[in-house]
Amino acid sequence: MRAFTLEQLPMRFVFAAGAAASIGDEVRRCKAERVMLIHDAMAKAIADDVAEQLGSLMATRWDEVAQHVPVPLAERARAAATEAKVDLMVCIGGGSSTGLAKAIAVTHRIPIVAMPTTYAGSEQTTIYGLTDTAHKQTGKDPVVLPRVVVYDPELTLDLPPHVTGPSAFNALAHSVEALYATGCNPITSALALEAVRAIADSLPKVMRSPRDVDARGDLMYGAALSGMALGATSAGLHHKICHVLGGMFNLVHADAHSVVLPHAIAFNAPALPAEMKRLAAALGSPDGDPAALLWDLAVASQVPTKLADLVGSDGPLKRDDLAAVAEAAAAEVTSNPRPVSAEDLLELLEHAYDGVRP
């Protein structure tokens, strides 16, 4: 028997193909009167439909969204929420739209109804992040956890492959690290392994047939469970590395996850024999090496596998940048299944930079 403590997060979950048509009713169930509708440019058509469902409940609409929530953007969106006397937000889109709604929720203490269109999983966590110049700061606050999440796989049918694959790897990273991150317990591990199984099974199908709504639904289900697993545990070594990479160089968040995950798992695997056995089974090869299986899934899903190929706001990531990333990430890691130094992380990052199969 293993003793544990689990804090259940309060949330209503609506999951169905076509569920987007119910979001107006979901907002009315929350008794909101002045809604701020947040979405990015890609979600305009979906947001138009939601605006129609909201009718006179919609107080203001906001369509400027950016990855990692820059502080000046958050400040402007917060001012718009104040001016419109908003009492609830509906956010539609990927982790960046959800992140902006969370940044407003932190200061305005108002609820969120989320309708995700990627696999980032932010809608299932109490974690929020803001980026000031090159530093990303995160915090935890229960107020940012959406009150309702509407999952509709039909919204993801046109998600392009170069977003779909890495976003699914972002989800996979949540569930894989939930197997050992601080706060893990038998229930979060069960969630995480089911998530890995669902993602590993559905991602190749989605990459082959992007408009297969059943496969999209299975992938979204895996991503939702991954978000729950992250939300109930914490960020581990892999997430800390990606967090530093994203904050320093403004890389595409999900691309960094795709490249780093197999290498982070290769590093931690020797300290986690039981967990790695279960992970390999969930990835479909009980006798396989999980780091290599993740790398093979990355190649099969055509996601980035080399840090050298990633481009940030100052151009391609340079090998000379890796030492600073290793130093910063080592300083952020407070607990890990095996001791980790900046030298270890530099070696890990060099493998990731070259795209070596672990």
Ligand X SMILES: NC(=O)c1ccc[n+]([C@@H]2O[C@H](COP(=O)([O-])OP(=O)(O)OC[C@H]3O[C@@H](n4cnc5c(N)ncnc54)[C@H](O)[C@@H]3O)[C@@H](O)[C@H]2O)c1
Catalog residues that contact ligand X under the rule CB under 6 A. Answer: 40, 42, 67-68, 93-97, 99, 117-118, 120-122, 125, 127-129, 155-156, 158-159, 163, 167, 170, 253-254
Structure token digits, residue 192: 């995480």
Distance (Å, whole) CA 330 – CA 341? 6
Count of CB atoms situated within 10 Å of the CB of 313: 8
Query: How far is 245 from 73, CA to CA, in rounded Å?
Result: 21
Instruction: Work out how close the CB of 103 gets to ligand X at its nearest, in angstroms, rounded to a whole number.
Output: 10
CB of 160 to ligand X, least distance (A): 6
**Min separation Cβ 314 and ligand X, Å:** 18
The span from the CA of 303 to the CA of 172, in Å, is: 13
Structure tokens of 114? 């989320």
Q: Which two tokens stand for residue 157?
A: 């049918």
- Select 96 or 233, whichever has its Cβ closest to ligand X: 96
For ligand X, the closer CB: 95 or 358:
95
Mark residue 105 as left, alpha or beta (left: phi above 0; alpha: psi -120 to 50; beta: remaining): alpha
Spatial neighbors of 299 by CB under 8 A, at least 6 apart, are 305
Quick one: 246 or 358, whose CB is closer to ligand X?
246
Nearer to ligand X, 99 or 262 (CB): 99
d(CA 93, CA 114): 8
For residue 27, the minimal CB distance to ligand X (Å) is 20
Closest to 129 in 3D by CA, of 256, 8, 240? 240
301, burial (CB in 10 Å: exposed 0-12, middle 13-18, buried 19+): buried
- d(C-alpha 264, C-alpha 267), whole Å: 5
Q: Residue 152 or 321: which CB sits closer to ligand X?
A: 152
Of 139, 130, 96, 131, residue with least CA distance to 116: 96
Q: How far is the CB of 188 from ligand X (least distance, A)?
A: 15
Compute the least distance from the CB of residue 166 to ligand X, in Å: 7
- Per-residue tokens: 216: 């999209």
The residue among 301 and 358 lying less far from ligand X, judged by its C-beta, is 301
Task: Supply the minimum distance, in Å, between the C-beta of residue 235 and ligand X.
Answer: 9
Question: Closer to ligand X at the Cβ: 202 or 358?
Answer: 202
